[in-house]
Structure 1
């Protein structure tokens, strides 16, 4: 009886003071790293985001777009996330923020032709989400996400 009680106390100590704090530290580190690298406001851990335009863009005409990984969970990560060459993310490296240098870091389209450049953040988001996915699914008769401006950019 006494031996099992001591073993139980050791196990409880290990779980309470070693295992749980280690798990929490890992989650906290991931949350902070994501929060620093991404261009969004965090809702809940790695799921609900509000996607904002970069500060250099100036005042947004529309509300920021909500985004949820849970809603998009049936899709492969590489359908949205990619490397510098545009190849789908394969899980072997850490994902950078969308507005990271060399990706979709053009905040302002100075020339009309810049609006068609995939580095322009506005084109990247709209081509990938709205015209590149949601509209394609809707045209195929499948359940899709929003396809009109106010559906992604709700009025307050």
Structure 2
């Protein structure tokens, strides 16, 4: 901001205004005057120092489990390399949740439709079993001793 003087022309103001500073002067600072009395601007955090969602740390066990299952369903639907069993146990341990084996088995079965790694493993096992049965049938009956 400037004001006009009849003798010297436009003069730059030395006190703070509510108007935003011009970008070319944003990095310059005055060593004296009213600017020196201003508090230093707070730094922007370079890392995440607070939870992403407000209340994430105070969630109930039921809400944590629902969020974990949504996350698992998404990851497994995208083709995660782990099966639901290993992934669920890993994430339960990371979130410090303890469930009984029966509850874990029920949750794994509920993820069966999106568990790509499990489906591929079961298809491979069926194919290998069919090949073994075919090989046994083509070898003929075993000789009696």
Please, what TM-score do these two structures have when normalized by structure 1? 0.22
Name the one with the larger helix percent: 2
Please, what TM-score do these two structures have when normalized by structure 2? 0.23
